[in-house]
Chains A and B, each alone.
Chain A
């Protein structure tokens, strides 16, 4: 395969899985800004070093290693220490990440519809928590709910979104 084609293919592979990689980067950094930076920097790195990857081998593992190094580098540059909760990521075997399903465009569209259909207050909480990165404590005070209620609502939403997405995807197939 010629170099430009290989580069494009590798880049596409990375792009298609970027949400999964962002999720992975978050478990290492516990900071979305760092996670997103790490994935961006990894994409640039992959673009420059695509020759180092052998097609047919485990691309996910290669990409995750690059992301891990990017996260480490960002932390080193900013003199940041690892959050205590980042050790949770260390107990997850690599094969679990290999098996994780990414959000493709169909699934993202379904997610979008499901988010739209959420009840008003739930939507507001989800928007603040995920869209604006607000803490539950802040959301609870802003919306005059207990913090516990915010946690519970977000747990429930997670489950209901999963079911909703599956139902939309099923409908699309039928």
Chain B
């Protein structure tokens, strides 16, 4: 059998054949019966080796144990929900995390940070602790590299000077690589010992010779038993942590500082020479270090891993939690007054007579056949005097749906509310179907919060027109069978009098393909 054929077969199994090699191997196999036999034999042998080296055969065991066949847990499902599978295990091996926390006290830009951090690492007591008290008998060095990307969604870049190289599955990461994930983008790395590190969207980190430097964003790590001798050192512009095996989420943002959420393990968290332990399902932040760790729900740790999973499956198209990084890439702001503002953290802020501030989404071009489910949850609105707030859905230049509240304050504690709604040209959605809108009273602190959950479809025949509409909390569950082409969403706040003021902040906005998926993106 030719060496070339053997070589191509191994590349085939490796999944690295290029187009030319595919054509060459196809030709060889097609023309020669011996090659065909050899190829099939190789596939069976490959399967057998995997069987011997891999985990025990579930199929065989299931039959042996039960005497009959039963539905199996899909490996595909297992793969894609591996994050949910990380239930606390009965750990028999010592898990020690030494977190040396040092507050520099100054928020510094990323480029400046590198130097600052290096200086801080050389001079701070925390670094001293990390260096003089190695957790294991072995020298604390990062033995995790090389590491490769095993899963990626969206755009993930390796930053080389001022240039960016887009990374794909199977890219190998080396010492010195600076990696960034863009908005709605995620990446999962794996070491040779199967330890996993996942980066959330808008994260920036650097693999240094002796540390992993988290410049901003969120990182989830599941360090395996086999990597126990490898000490992972992680840092943020504020803090440094050394880790020897555990599952945890480590986040850093300028405004919130460092946050450590431990899913599994016992973590020693040090700050200015003081030590606190963080254990399973606990969280400790650099800002609240003095108060100590707090208990958290297991599913609140690295919740964004669910988004990664939904994106990968094609169930989720967009999610915005209004944390700041993504704001300008999806939304634009329109305002009648320069002092009326729209920010990711504070939402829409509007004041003064006849003023309006709008948050307008990108154009959503709908060419596919699948319906899109939009879901939105706002926080409470803080306001005074007369104002209006709500949202509008536009299809090209036509407004197809508008829902909002017009509020008039009567005194310090109460107000009148009138619901404003307009369902464009769709006759079935007119007031006579929904009932007329009446003026209602409410206390000022208890203004209705708008949430919506509706489906838009470009193929009217696919969705039977359905209207279910609930007043009060302003929950609209509306399926519109319209011929939609370019859809835009606007959130707005309007103030009416000189002394009017309104601030409306948002929680989550997502676009998915079904309601089940949208449910998963909410806390």
Residues of A within 8 A of B (CB): 11, 15, 18-20, 22-24, 26-27, 30, 32-34, 36-37, 39-40, 43-44, 47, 74, 78-79, 83-85, 87-88, 91-93, 96-97, 99-103, 107-108, 111-112, 115, 126-132, 134-138, 141-142, 151-152, 154-155, 158-159, 161-162
A-B contact count (CB 8 A): 173
* Majority secondary structure, A binding face: helix
Provide the residues of chain B in CB contact with A111, threshold 8 Å.
Answer: 48-49, 52
Determine if B29 and A115 form an interchain contact, defined as CB atoms under 8 angstroms apart.
no
Provide the residues of chain A in CB contact with B43, threshold 8 Å.
Answer: 23-24, 26-27
Residues of B within 8 A of A (CB): 3, 6-7, 9-17, 19, 22, 25-26, 29-30, 33, 36-37, 39-54, 57-60, 63, 68-72, 74-76, 79, 146, 148, 170, 172, 192, 194, 313-314
Determine if A134 and B59 form an interchain contact, defined as CB atoms under 8 angstroms apart.
no
Q: Which of B33, B51, B53, B75: most chain A CB closer than 10 A?
A: B53
4 further interface pairs, Cβ-Cβ under 8 Å (given A18-B59, A22-B51) = A15-B63, A26-B46, A47-B69, A102-B44
Determine if A85 and B22 form an interchain contact, defined as CB atoms under 8 angstroms apart.
yes
Provide the residues of chain A in CB contact with B58, threshold 8 Å.
Answer: 40
Q: A136 CA to B15 CA in the complex, in Å?
A: 9
CB distance from A41 to the nearest CB of B (A): 8
Provide the residues of chain A in CB contact with B54, threshold 8 Å.
Answer: 130-131
Known pairs A15-B60, A84-B19, A151-B10; A107 contacts B48 (CB<8 A): yes
Known pairs A92-B36, A96-B37; A155 contacts B3 (CB<8 A): yes
CB-CB nearest in chain B for A4: B68
Pick the residue among B12, B15, B69 that contacts A11 (CB under 8 A).
B69
Provide the residues of chain B in CB contact with A26, threshold 8 Å.
Answer: 43, 46-47
Known pairs A40-B59, A99-B37, A126-B53; A91 contacts B26 (CB<8 A): yes
CB-CB nearest in chain A for B43: A23
* Majority secondary structure, B binding face: helix
Provide the residues of chain B in CB contact with A74, threshold 8 Å.
Answer: 76
CB-CB nearest in chain A for B192: A142
Pick the residue among B7, B14, B69 that contacts A44 (CB under 8 A).
B69
Determine if A136 and B14 form an interchain contact, defined as CB atoms under 8 angstroms apart.
yes
Provide the residues of chain A in CB contact with B314, threshold 8 Å.
Answer: 78-79
Provide the residues of chain B in CB contact with A23, threshold 8 Å.
Answer: 40, 43-47
Q: A84 CA to B60 CA in the complex, in Å?
A: 32
Determine if B10 and A101 form an interchain contact, defined as CB atoms under 8 angstroms apart.
no
Provide the residues of chain B in CB contact with A18, threshold 8 Å.
Answer: 57, 59-60
Q: A135 CA to B74 CA in the complex, in Å?
A: 23
Determine if A141 and B172 form an interchain contact, defined as CB atoms under 8 angstroms apart.
yes
CB-CB nearest in chain B for A38: B76
Pick the residue among A96, A101, A138 that contacts B36 (CB under 8 A).
A96
Determine if A91 and B30 form an interchain contact, defined as CB atoms under 8 angstroms apart.
yes
Provide a sorted-by-A list of 8 A–B residue pairs whose CB atoms are within 8 angstroms. Answer: A33-B76, A37-B75, A43-B59, A44-B70, A44-B71, A88-B26, A91-B36, A134-B192
CB-CB nearest in chain B for A80: B314
Known pairs A88-B12, A88-B26, A142-B146; A43 contacts B44 (CB<8 A): no
